[in-house]
Each structure stands twice: as C-alpha cells, then as structure tokens.
Amino acid sequence: MTDIHSHILFDVDDGSKSIDESIELLKKMEEIGFDNVILTPHFIENSDYLSLNEEKLNKLEELKKEIKRQKLKIKIYLGNEIFINQNIIEHIQKDEIYSINNGKYLLIEFPFHNQILNIQDILYELKIKGYIPIIAHPERYTYFQKNYELVRELKNDGILFQSNYSSILGDYGSSSKKLMKKMLKDKYIDYLGTDIHHINKSFVLDNFSKIQNKIIKIVGKDYYDKIILNCNNLLKK
C-alpha cells in the first residue's frame, strides 16, 4: 500500500517535529501494511510553511539514511500539500513546490470554510500546464458538506479526490463522515491517505483495520482495491 498524504517529513510544518518521531510513525505504518509513504508537507503561500525543495530533499535523504540504519523496509517519497493559490506554477518554477514524486500530480488543499470563487479557473490553469490536481480531503470542506453540487461539478470537470481514511469513522466530525460516505457510494473518491501528523495522535493507524472494513462495506472490495492501486500508481512518473 501507498500513503499519498502524510506530514512525516520532520521539522518543516505542523507535522513530525523530529527524525525520531518520523521513524516511529514509519515503523507503525510498516506494521499495518504500508510499503510506501509519500511525504507531503504543507506549502502555504505567505506563511511559515514555505520550505524550499532543497531543504525538503535534504531532510528526505537524512530520513532515508535513518530508515536504512534501522533496517526498515518502508520506502519514502516527496511531495507537497499545496494550499490553493494563483501562483502555484511560479512556485514550482522557483523550486519551492514539489509535485508528487516529482511527477505530474499535485496534492491541492482548499480553505476549510471559505470557498474560493475562482477554484475551477486555478485548477484549469494547472491542467493546461500539464499537471493533474488531486484535491485533498474534500469531505472536510464545509461548503462541500452543504452543497454537494460543488463536488459533482469538480468531478465532472475531471478533478481527482483524496479522502482521509479516518474520516469514515468520524475523526473529523459527523458532517465529514457523511460526505465521505456519499462520495464513496458515488465512486467519486480516487485516492485515500492518512494525513498523519504525530505519533501521539495516530487515530488512523490505531484503527486502520476497522477503517478498511468500514470502507469495503460501503464500496465493496473491488472498488477499494482500485483506490489502493491508484495510490500505488502515483509513484509511476
């Protein structure tokens, strides 16, 4: 399995604060069946989360060395969770944003409560430039919860969605759970991710078997396996 959304790269955002915490998270992920983890630290324009690719790649290599030293089998790759803005292409060109495994896919985060009116224009521009946007945890956005037609419009535009595993157990509230369930039934969810930040807040990892069973009960084993395959295929450039 491949986790496509995590905050395990240490000391770059609100996720893991040390290489030791990163290793503990990766050990736990390996134990429950993850073979690959894509590290997607936040990139938020005009904030403290603006680390350059050079810094992120250096930390990635440092973490890889520690993984090897501790004889873990899990593999790690780099990406970013990009808070949507009009300058994404410029940030990529300036080596500030890293696409998923340096390929064509971009994990994009929306505001949780305030809908941006030109979202579709920004996503269209990214596609014109050859990138494929994946919207992170759509079930958590209140305007999607209130107006499902917004979700349907983006899906009809060919936009891809990544939901957080633990949303299905209500980890982010009942409204997120309800929306994820509907999106699963409509087969709108293309990818799943842990969105894990800290070892002491690992609800998703502690309940992973229960989460899998719940999702399979909703969509069936074949569609769940298709989502897992989609995640694995993101590592193919």
What is the model's pLDDT at position 50?
Answer: 86
Report the alpha-carbon distance of residue 195 to residue 48 in Å, rounded.
Answer: 19
**33-60 average pLDDT score:** 95
Taking CA atoms, 19 is separated from 32, 157, 199, in Å, by 20, 40, 12
Alpha helices per DSSP H over 147-235: 148-156, 174-185, 203-206, 208-219, 221-233
What is the model's pLDDT at position 117?
Answer: 86
Q: What is the DSSP track for 27-94? A: HHHHHTT-SEEEE--EE-TTSS----HHHHHHHHHHHHHHHHHTT---EEEE--EEEP-TTHHHHHHT
What is the model's pLDDT at position 237?
Answer: 60
Question: Do the Cβ atoms of 186 and 162 come closer than 8 Å?
Answer: no
What is the model's pLDDT at position 100?
Answer: 97
Question: Do the Cβ atoms of 95 and 58 come closer than 8 Å?
Answer: no
pLDDT digits (tens, 9 = 90+) for 124-178: 999 999 999 999 999 999 999 999 999 999 999 999 999 999 999 999 999 999 9
Neighbours of 230 (CB within 10 A): 18
Instruction: Name the pairing type of β-strands 81-83 and 75-78.
Output: unpaired
198: tokens are 């800290």
DSSP state of 196: B
**64-79 average pLDDT score:** 98
What is the model's pLDDT at position 236?
Answer: 85
At 123, which helix (H) or strand (E)?
helix 119-128
The matching CATH number, chosen from 3.20.20.140, 3.40.309.10, 3.30.565.10, 3.30.200.20, for 2-233 is 3.20.20.140
Taking CA atoms, 207 is separated from 65, 73, 133, 152, 204, in Å, by 29, 22, 29, 30, 5
Quick one: what percent of the chain has pLDDT higher than 90? 96
pLDDT digits (tens, 9 = 90+) for 177-236: 999 999 999 999 999 999 999 999 999 999 999 999 999 999 999 999 999 999 999 998
Return the half-sphere exposure (C-beta side, CA atoms, 13 A cut-off) of residue 81: 28
Quick one: what percent of the chain has pLDDT higher than 70? 100
Taking CA atoms, 4 is separated from 47, 99, 117, 128, in Å, by 23, 12, 27, 23
Mean pLDDT over each residue of the chain, to the nearest integer: 96
Return the half-sphere exposure (C-beta side, CA atoms, 13 A cut-off) of residue 15: 26
Q: Which residue has the tokens 């994990």?
A: 107
Amino acid occupying residue 98: Y
